[in-house]
Structure 1
Amino acid sequence: MEIFLLQESVEDEEAVSNSMPGAERAKHILRYLSKCEHASKRHTLFAVLWHTGCRMGAAHSMDVSDFYRESQALKIRHRPDTGTHLKNKQAGERICALSEEVCEVLEDYINVPRDEVTDHHGREPLFTTQYGRMHRSKIREMVYAVSRLCAYGKECLHGRDSDSCEAGTYTQASSGHI
């Protein structure tokens, strides 16, 4: 069953997949989210992932304090001592420039729907649930859910009804507006 159409490349030296949706598909997803789910967790997460090119694990590690509104930047940091790490450790650390549009989405998300929680290390995670820092598997589920064609108004590749589709049921239940 195909849920997420990807352009995929595998780095020989790392033997890992670097999968991303195609640019046109990402634009459709972001247009839909901007219109129908502005600054929701799904919108903010997908916008950050797409515009920074970071891994889902990096999104998991982000804190509110890593967003620099005035500088229009988001800092990706390796913090293994306080519960979050990057796959490439310190080599994965960087500062990502953000567009004004992405900054507005992040600012709106932080100010309204973001669950105001502190993790057990005293950090304020950027992507949260009511229980704390959003788990990596939840981030993955949300990305899969929002990237289904029927999630943003396109027809299912398999001609299924989105309300009764097995893939739709899985992703809607696991990653709606949490």
Structure 2
Amino acid sequence: MTERTGRRRQNPEELTPAAAVERYLRRRRTDSTDKSIEGWEYRLKLFVEWCDSVGIGEVGQLEGYDLDEYYEIRSAEIAPVTLEGEMWTLRSFLEFLEDVEAVDDGLAERVRIPDLDPEDRSSNKKLDADDAFALIQYYRNDEQAYGTRPHAWIELAWFTGARQGGLRALDLRDVHLDEDPYVEFRHRPDTGTPLKNKLGGERPAGITRETADVLEAYIEHHRYDVHDDYGRQPLLASAKGRPGENTVRVWSYQATQPCLHSPCPHGKERETCQWTEYAHASKCPSSRAPHHIRTGTITWLLNEGWPPEDVAERVNATVKTIEQHYDKADPEQRRQRLRDRMENRRRPLLTNLNIDHDQDQ
């Protein structure tokens, strides 16, 4: 056997925390979106900085007590739901280190995950259905507002329940406005518009004739006739092309201000209110971001009797995720749902519980 020559390969336990994180993120890039990678990179950067501050220079030095100490420090600085996300990321990172034999087996299980109530895990903030309907009626009935970009935005965001990234990714070619109109969400990572669930996020979403008419008016009279950096024609276009994520959020804040259709609930006059300006739109307490519209839509669909499985398919989420993060119905709405479900789906089954019915068979 030929004797190996050259420098000895580094033992995995000798990896610095920073080098180990880089290696972990390289592995995850093949099956994760850039946005997910950025989030994990930020969370683990904080852990690397802490390791440096306490003199942990190699991952092989990590022990259960270190993980508990890090948990205690972070839990005193951030909200429980943020802590939960950081600890899950840390556990996944340590599972990778176990896999490459850089740390002791079982160390990942020593990462403490906070036990949160569902109410603590997500915000109850949403665009209420009544507010959404008031906005939509305002845009549909006002000649100056009809078919404008804010109108097209609220119609699409509310009736599809799509994520901000999906709406931003729509091209003109993805909009089908003839008989049985729909929009089609496509995963195009190579040209700047990946979907959160990649190919699993691709789907058509039917829209009503009224919404299709709004989009036709928008495309014909109000859409900027532009292309993005890849030669594509974005549906929701700015003067310069496809908007960035922050621009879309500002559009959403501006499009959902209640003073468009009703007196300001905060005692201000729209003509002089700074919150109506682009740079300050997010400060309006009653304006809503894309995520809040999505949450409102999902809650509304469930309250309208849509089966959770159908809602999940339409908005590209799991039933579990919807139940934990998006269903913000109040207690009376939940009770009414259960009563409706009993009457519509379970009442006919009660005949099978009839003893005489069984004997007649």
Provide the TM-score with structure 1 as the length reference.
0.81
Q: What's the counterpart of residue 171 of structure 1?
A: 281
Gaps of 5+ in 2: 1-117, 283-361
Return the alpha-carbon distance in structure 1 between the equivalents of residues 157 and 258 of structure 2.
18
| 1:59 lines up with 2:160 in the alignment | no
TM-aligned CA deviation for residue 146 of structure 1: 2.0
User: Deviations 1:10-57 (Å, cap 9, x if unpaired)?
Assistant: xx6xx6669641111100000111122111000001100101000121
Alignment of 1:30-69 (within 5 A): 30-36=136-142, 37-69=145-177
1:77 to 172, 186, 189: 186
Unaligned ranges ≥5, structure 1:
1-11, 173-178
Percent sequence identity over aligned pairs: 32
Matched, 1:127 2:127: no
- Check 1:134–1:19 CA distance in 2 against 1; reply closer, same or farther (3 A cut): farther
Describe the SS at the equivalent of 1:84: coil
> Which structure is higher in strand share?
1
Tell whether the 8 Å contact from 1:145 to 1:151 is kept in structure 2 after alignment. Answer: no
> More helix by proportion, 1 or 2?
2
Encode CA deviations 1:77-108: one digit per residue, 9 max, x unaligned. 11110111122222222110010011111111
Q: Provide the secondary structure at the position in 2 that maps to 1:133.
A: coil
Tell me which of the two structures has the higher relative contact order, counting C-alpha pairs closer than 8 angstroms and 6 or more residues apart. Answer: 1
Structure-1 separation of matches of 2:169 and 2:124: 19
User: Using the alignment, how far apart are the partners of 2:205 and 2:272 within structure 1?
Assistant: 40
Q: Which residue of 1 aligns with 2:196?
A: 87
How many residue pairs match? The answer is: 158
Moved more, 69-78 or 158-167: 158-167
CA–CA separation in structure 1 for the residues paired with 2:254 and 2:220: 24
The structure number with the bigger radius of gyration is: 2
Q: What does residue 4 of structure 1 align with?
A: none
